Amino acid sequence: MTAVPQPTAALLDGTALARELTARTAESAAELRRRTGTAPCLATVLVGADPASVTYVRMKQNSCAKAGIESRHVALPAEISTAGLVDAVTALSEDPAVHGILLQHPVGAHIDERAAFEAIAPGKDVDGVTTASFAAMSFGLPGFVSCTPGGIMRLLDAYDVELSGRHAVVVGRSPILGKPAGMLLLARDATVTYCHSRTADLRAHLREADLVVAAVGRPRFIRGEDLKPGVVVVDAGYNEGNVGDVDFDSAAARASLITPVPGGVGPMTIAVLLEQTVEAAWRQLVS
């Protein structure tokens, strides 16, 4: 008889956890509104009209509405200059009616995205994209975390995944996902290896991992045969066709715990964004 790989892994259910977290966020938003007469407000900034980005921004606005958070959308032409985008973000940073700012990545290759992110006031950086937020997070100081890595940590904690002393392999080092994910795991005493496009032998690193965070942007790039039995797999990838960076079926046959796509990291990202928006509004309105 040929052995057919059986799914052995339990699911890290991001949909359910995000629902719980957002229910608490909605209560907090309602309480703030009772106390101050003002609802929290998230400004979303989108450059151009890439269909995937339009969809993500709409999802974030819908989630805001359900949680009692107002959203203000700023749509900018794809051709806008860095200076034009910085001006638009600076205006939101200075507007007391706006409590949080999300500048949707990517903004187009001709724009200095870092300069635009840095125009977000630290107290309104609810997406955790500024260098100030990254530094605070890395030093364990108060501030807003990058939403996707923050959501990943909440998910791991909800399932009591042991991190101390474990070998975490993060595949990807982007400023809003891979790099901060590794820093948060390091802060929890994991031994962290970052892999990226120049990594010499990715598969050898993966085979040693107790925890894998996939943040590559390549559909089904990581497969079960690359993984150690019992590994915990977090798939942050979200590619065309709602496909993750991990080949789910083969990975689930090796892993002890795995995030589905959809229904894993994605909903947690939005839940953390909403939570941080309400937190920012409390600080600005009640201080």
Ligand X SMILES: Nc1nc(=O)c2c([nH]1)NC[C@@H]1CN(c3ccc(C(=O)N[C@@H](CCC(=O)O)C(=O)O)cc3)C=[N+]21
Ligand Y SMILES: NC(=O)C1=CN([C@@H]2O[C@H](COP(=O)(O)OP(=O)(O)OC[C@H]3O[C@@H](n4cnc5c(N)ncnc54)[C@H](OP(=O)(O)O)[C@@H]3O)[C@@H](O)[C@H]2O)C=CC1
Catalytic option among 61, 124, 125, 127: 127
For ligand X, the closer of residues 32 and 119 by Cβ is: 119
Q: Taking contact as CB under 6 A, which single stretch among the options 93-101, 160-168, 181-189, 238-246 is the one that binds ligand Y?
A: 238-246
Element (H, E) at 87: helix 82-94
Q: What are the φ and ψ backbone dihedral angles of 214, each rounded to 5 degrees?
A: -100, 115
Question: Does the footprint of ligand X cover residue 219 (CB under 6 A)?
Answer: no
* 193 touching ligand Y, by CB under 6 A: no
Nearest-angstrom CA–CA distance, 94 and 124: 10
Q: Which is nearer to ligand X, 130 or 250 (CB)?
A: 130
C-alpha pair distances (Å), 73 with each of 46, 49, 86: 8, 13, 16
> Is residue 112 a contact partner of residue 82, using CB atoms and an 8 Å limit?
yes
C-alpha atoms less than 13 angstroms from C-alpha of 82 in its C-beta half-sphere: 10
**3-class DSSP assignment, residue 213:** strand
CB of 80 within 8 A of CB of 106? no
276 flagged as catalytic:
no
Residues 179-198: x/- map of binding to ligand X (CB under 6 A)?
--------------------
146 or 284, CB closer to ligand Y? 146
Q: Is 103 in the site for ligand X (CB under 6 A)?
A: yes
Does 270 bind ligand X (CB under 6 A)? Our answer is yes
Q: How far is the CB of 155 from ligand Y (least distance, A)?
A: 11
Which one among 25, 104, 133, 277 touches ligand X, defined by CB under 6 A?
104
User: How far apart (Å, rounded) are the C-alpha atoms in residues 236 and 215?
Assistant: 5
Residues in the chain: 287
259 binds ligand X (CB under 6 A): no
The C-alpha atoms of residue 233 and residue 246 are separated, in whole angstroms, by 8
**Residue 48 vs 191, nearer CB to ligand X:** 48
Q: How far is the CB of 75 from ligand X (least distance, A)?
A: 15
Q: Give the one residue of 172, 180, 224, 260 binding ligand Y; rule: CB under 6 A.
A: 172
Known catalytic membership, residue 127: yes
Per CB under 6 A, does 202 bind ligand Y? Answer: yes
**Of 225, 68, 82, 60, whose CA–CA distance to 127 is shortest?**
60
The whole-angstrom separation of Cα 228 and Cα 205 is 10
Q: Is 197 annotated as a binding residue?
A: no
List beta partners, residue 72.
Answer: 43
Question: Which positions touch ligand X (CB under 6 A)?
Answer: 56, 59, 102-105, 127, 129, 147-148, 176, 238, 242, 261-263, 266-267, 269-270
Q: Which residues are catalytic?
A: 60, 104, 127
Q: Binding site, residues?
A: 172-174
Q: Binding site for NADP(+), residues?
A: 172-174
